[in-house]
Amino acid sequence: MAKNIILRSGSKHINTTIQLTGSKSECNRALVIEALSNGRVKVTNVSDAADTVTLAGILRNQSQESRAKNQESDSQLETQSLATVDIGPAGTAMRFLTAYFAIGNEDVILTGSERMKQRPIGILVNALRQLGADIDYVENDGYPPLHIKAGFEQKTDLITIKGDISSQYITALLLIAARLPQGLKLQIEGELTSRPYVEMTLSMLQQAGIQHQWEDNTISIANQEFKETSIWVEPDWSAASYWYAIAALAEEAELFLPGLTAYSLQGDSAITEIMANFGITSQFKDGGVYLKKEPKPIQRKIFDMIKCPDLAQTVIVVCAALGHEATFTGLETLKIKETDRVAALQNELGKMGVKLVEKGQVYKLDCSEKFIPEKMTIATYEDHRMAMAFAPLALVIPELEIEEEKVVEKSYPDFWKDLEKAGFETE
């Protein structure tokens, strides 16, 4: 049975240094690049997030050369046989591996958790089939598990894909582009919603020697070789966002997060600008970022999360806790994440009298009936970000119980330990 965790804030004054794990977004891209480069690219500061550990293990199993080199140090990452690859709840791994195996020379059944079997993948499969991949659905059309067959023969180099879908579909195609005999021209229809994630992918490919052209709405990558290089993975800005939320809800806060840079590839570094509205200053020096809370009235009323959807839960919970009736846009992709994050937010915020009202693609917080309960229990819906976005509420609610404490292992395994370091009490 899943264990819950109870949080209490030992102090409303937060003053500590927190060393964050490597970015899951960067690391998952880097690991696929490493695998595609046949050993020319090496990845350092690998994330210890469960999703990344899963992906690293699967990719190592695919490469005899890598396995020979890493046999001793990474024996704990040994995973399934080649016939069936089970990625569990790792959504990024599902998308990236679908493309990776599609151009490989092995027959693979790619599957995952029950929730993963409900997350659509038809757009990516259709694009790969157009390119020449042979992929069948094992259970339901448009959803995992997938039977990906060997013998890829490229039929075309031009694929058109909608811009308002998950950026992971686009990234999956871009990652394999240089390995395609004819290369790839990816034509994006309409507005590209998660542009920073696509830019991150292209920037990391460039670090590995893969050049691209981006003209108007078409990204072109020719068939080309990876160069010998090392990719250092920056700490995770998504993980940093929870510390910004803690700073915003604390009475006083001074935090240092080593390794984070002002010029990050990660779209979630936008948290520095967003939290400036709540009086949190970010100073980059000494090889990291210092956060400090300064008294400031909150004025910004509209937050557009289109470029950083993974920050939405964090920012919405902070606004709710402060009774700040903000409006949010750009939440379109939240309903197809680990859970329907919009419904999950509505359910849990309702426990403190706050409504998240949906009108088309605009969401408004109604705090008119907000109250602070003595005790509140948060359901996580098997979603790591629900647990971590709501955890800062322990600074305003005397006793906060969060269900399924292990859910955070997906992206930030040391989250509860780090909270203890910052003075929170856990049981």
Q: What is the pLDDT of residues 44-66, one digit of tens each?
A: 999 999 989 999 999 988 765 33
User: Which residue among 221, 256, 283 closes a domain?
Assistant: 221
Residue 273 and residue 160 share a domain: no
Domain end among 167, 194, 221: 221
| Cβ-proximal residues to 76 (8 Å cutoff; 6+ apart), any chain | none
Tell me if 229 is assigned to some domain.
Answer: no
Q: Among 164, 195, 221, which residue terminates a domain?
A: 221
Task: Give the pLDDT of residue 79.
Answer: 40
Are 249 and 235 contacting, i.e. CB atoms less than 8 angstroms apart? no
2: pLDDT strictly greater than 80: no
State pLDDT tens for residues 305-358: 988 989 999 999 999 999 999 999 988 877 777 778 999 999 999 999 999 999
Mean pLDDT of the chain: 92
Taking only the tens place, the pLDDT of each residue in 369-416 is 999 999 999 999 989 999 999 999 999 999 999 999 999 998 999 999
Residues 83 and 216 in one domain: yes
The fraction of the chain above a pLDDT of 90, given in percent, is 80
The pLDDT of residue 1 is 61
pLDDT one-digit tens code per residue, 99-112:
999 999 889 999 99
Q: Do 240 and 128 sit in the same domain of this protein?
A: no
- Number of helices (H), then strands (E), belonging to the chain: the values are 13, 22
The burial class, CB within 10 Å (0-12 / 13-18 / 19+), for 364 is middle
Catalytic residues: 310
Asked if residue 188 and residue 79 are part of one domain, the reply reads yes
Of 15-19, 172-176, 407-411, the one with minimum mean pLDDT is 407-411
CATH number of the CATH domain containing 104? 3.65.10.10
**Mean pLDDT throughout 360-374?**
95
Q: Is the pLDDT of residue 176 over 70?
A: yes
What is the reported pLDDT for 72? Answer: 42
Residue 74 pLDDT level (bands cut at 50, 70, 90): very low
pLDDT exceeds 70 at position 417: yes
Distances in Å between the Cα of 397 and the Cα atoms of 72, 212, 371 are 47, 50, 10
Sheet holding 399-402, edge to edge: 375-378, 399-402, 5-9, 424-426
Residue 80 covered by a domain: yes
Task: Identify each DSSP E strand in 213-342 by its residue range.
Answer: 213-215, 218-221, 229-232, 252-258, 280-285, 288-293, 302-304, 327-329
147 touches 135 (CB < 8 A): yes
Cα-Cα-Cα-Cα torsion 142, 145, 150, 156, nearest 10 degrees, comes to 20
Residue 150 domain boundaries: 28-221
| pLDDT beyond 90 at 194 | no
The confidence score (pLDDT) of residue 157 equals 96
Q: How many domains does the chain have?
A: 2
32 close to 59: Cβ distance less than 8 angstroms: yes
Residues 200 and 258 in one domain: no
In a domain, 227, yes or no: no
Residue-level pLDDT at 81: 42
Q: 279, 281, 318: which is closest to 298 by C-alpha?
A: 279
pLDDT bracket for residue 236 (50, 70, 90) = very high
Angstrom distance (rounded) from CA 305 to CA 311 = 7
Task: Give the best-scoring range by mean pLDDT among 72-86, 181-195, 213-227.
Answer: 213-227
Secondary structure (3-state) at 22:
strand
C-alpha count within 13 angstroms, C-beta hemisphere, residue 415: 31
Per-residue confidence at 75, pLDDT binned at 50, 70, 90? very low
Domain contains 416: yes
Same-domain pairing of 169 and 245: no
User: What is the model's pLDDT at position 70?
Assistant: 43
Task: Classify residue 226: in a domain, yes or no.
Answer: no
pLDDT digits (tens, 9 = 90+) for 144-170: 999 999 989 999 999 999 998 888 999
| 189 and 249, same domain (yes or no) | no
Residue 370: burial class (beta carbons within 10 Å; 0-12, 13-18, 19+): middle
Model confidence at 222: pLDDT above 60: yes
Q: Are residues 336 and 388 in the same domain?
A: yes
- The pLDDT value recorded for residue 196 is 87
Higher pLDDT, 241 or 335: 241
Looking at the structure, tell me whether residues 286 and 201 fall in a common domain. Answer: no
Q: What is the phi-psi region of residue 6: left when phi exceeds 0, alpha when psi lies from -120 to 50, beta otherwise?
A: beta
Q: How confident is the model at residue 274 (pLDDT cuts 50, 70, 90)?
A: very high
Mean pLDDT of 220-232: 97
